[in-house]
């Protein structure tokens, strides 16, 4: 009897983890957080699939909407229709896989299983499984690797089949995997200090934890906004100054007329990966940069490029970027405030199969439980974003770019083979930018009013 008791006392942490079964969700008798989360995920899947079906039916329409007839060529319309239908069919398959995977991970307790195995692995390495930071980093590494592996076939098919079939993909398999591994390396470098800081803050935060977490994320987001375009983005693309010429002169004149503090004007080699086009701005206070994709310059006339930038500068002049940033800060603070209310909830952890309460796991579970709010907030932000887009279009129109902006928007729609027909319910739920038809109608309406 004494020998038996001694052997049980001397069990290692790893052996205990192996002999103690996971707390199955079915054995939990409190509030059914797990069932509620999985049930909501499934309901949202059916709702979004219904919207996808509506959109797919609209994409199959053989004719252009009235606003685009005589504006977009039949050839471009057929290509855009084929591209959109290919992406739609692929999305149906991907969405089924995602909901099955996510529901299975939660329902079968794979998260607590991974957490348990990480503790065993640390023990086998001669490290303490009670070291929450090490265990969390190991858990994140395992789950991230899992995600990369299961998503890889979908990424490869999307890039090298769908995008290539429609003439967009320009990258090689080597470049694809180089980008993927470089992204993973950045996570390995940047992830541990960020995760460690969050865990320490939660462990020592006290009554002002929400403010500390929010302050940390604010500083981190500002630091990333400064670091990303200077140190990270150049790892993936080459940035070269826009050569002197008419286009540069027109852009600088536009920026000067709006008192936009333009310091540098770059061209990015987006064509090395895709023929899709884009443009963006970044920078703080009196040091702003504008970046043009080389594909944008090749696809549009100079005046159209300037008109597109007038739209983007409209966002800056109308403080849309600042409003969006402030809104995200308020939402982040509210989320952390909500997290502090449940972070010590034994019921929340036990419902998902955890017998301990790790910091990162608590954050993950909390995000799952507030998914309904996430969807509502996302829908609200989309509505605000769409309003901002109309306002930026109106700003460019008032500067005298109505016709060139119209031409630029049409050209971008054609070259990117964007969907010409859109279901109103689908676009209202998913799109942060209004469909082209709505933007052209708004431009035409306001132009006629001014005449």
The 10 Å Cβ neighbour count of residue 127 is: 14
- Under DSSP, the state recorded for 11 is -
- Encoded tokens for 264: 């540098």
Question: Tokens 């200090």 sit at which residue?
Answer: 193
169: its two tokens: 């993909």
Is 315 known as a binding-site position? yes
Encoded tokens for 69: 């007839």
Least Cα distance to 306 among 259, 250, 266, 265 occurs for 250
Report CA dihedral (21, 24, 30, 34) to the nearest 10 degrees.
140
Residue 217 tokens, joined:
């994320």
Are residues 432 and 377 in contact, defined by beta-carbon separation less than 8 angstroms? no
Q: Which two tokens stand for residue 298?
A: 């090749």
Residue 69 forms beta bridges with which residues? 72
- Rounded Cα distance, 143 and 106, in Å: 13
List Cα–Cα distances, 418 to 218, 266, 312, 407, in angstroms: 35, 26, 20, 15
**Catalytic option among 163, 294, 312, 423:** 312
Pairing of strands 262-268, 287-293: parallel
> Do residues 302 and 246 touch, judged by C-beta distance below 8 A?
yes
Whether 393 is a known active-site residue: answer yes
Q: Which of 393, 414, 415, 423 is catalytic?
A: 393
What phi, psi does 278 have (nearest 5°)? -165, 170
Annotated binding site: 311, 315, 389
Annotated binding site for Zn(2+): 311, 315, 389
Give catalytic residues, as residue numbers: 312, 393
């Amino acid at each position: 009897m004494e020998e038996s008791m001694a052997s049980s006392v001397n069990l290692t942490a790893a052996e205990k983890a192996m002999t103690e079964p996971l707390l199955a969700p079915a054995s939990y008798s409190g509030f059914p957080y797990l069932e509620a989360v999985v049930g909501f995920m499934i309901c949202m899947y059916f709702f979004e699939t219904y919207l996808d079906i509506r959109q797919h039916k609209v994409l199959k329409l053989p004719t252009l909407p009235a606003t685009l007839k005589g504006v977009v060529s039949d050839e471009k319309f057929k290509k855009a229709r084929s591209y959109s239908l290919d992406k739609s069919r692929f999305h149906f398959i991907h969405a089924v896989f995602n909901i099955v995977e996510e529901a299975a991970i939660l329902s079968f307790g794979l998260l607590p299983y991974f957490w348990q195995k990480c503790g065993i692995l640390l023990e086998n390495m001669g490290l303490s499984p009670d070291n929450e930071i090490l265990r969390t980093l190991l858990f994140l590494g395992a789950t991230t690797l899992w995600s990369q592996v299961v998503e890889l076939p979908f990424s490869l098919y999307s890039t090298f089949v769908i995008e290539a079939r429609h003439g967009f993909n320009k990258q090689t398999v080597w470049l694809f995997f180089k980008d993927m591994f470089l992204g993973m390396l950045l996570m390995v470098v940047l992830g541990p200090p960020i995760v460690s800081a969050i865990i320490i803050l939660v462990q020592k935060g006290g009554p002002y934890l929400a403010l500390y977490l929010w302050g940390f994320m604010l500083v981190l987001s500002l630091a990333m906004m400064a670091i990303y375009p200077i140190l990270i983005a150049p790892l993936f693309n080459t940035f070269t100054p826009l050569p002197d010429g008419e286009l540069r002169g027109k852009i600088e004149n536009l920026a000067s007329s709006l008192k936009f503090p333009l310091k540098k004007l770059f061209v990015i080699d987006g064509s090395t990966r895709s023929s899709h086009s884009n443009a963006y701005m970044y920078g703080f206070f009196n040091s702003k940069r504008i970046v043009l994709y080389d594909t944008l310059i090749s696809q549009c006339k100079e005046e159209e490029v300037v008109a597109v930038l007038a739209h983007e500068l409209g966002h800056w002049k109308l403080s849309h970027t600042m409003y969006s940033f402030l809104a995200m800060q308020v939402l982040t603070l509210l989320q952390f405030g909500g997290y502090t209310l449940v972070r010590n909830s034994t019921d929340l952890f036990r419902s998902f199969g955890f017998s301990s309460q790790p910091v990162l796991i608590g954050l993950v579970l909390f995000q799952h439980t507030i998914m309904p709010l996430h969807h509502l907030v996302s829908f609200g932000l989309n509505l605000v974003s769409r309003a901002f887009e109309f306002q930026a279009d109106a700003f460019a129109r008032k500067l005298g770019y109505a016709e060139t902006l119209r031409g630029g928007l049409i050209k971008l729609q054609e070259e990117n083979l964007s969907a010409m027909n859109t279901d109103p319910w689908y676009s209202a739920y998913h799109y942060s930018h209004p469909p082209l038809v709505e933007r052209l109608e708004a431009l035409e309406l306001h132009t006629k009013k001014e005449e």
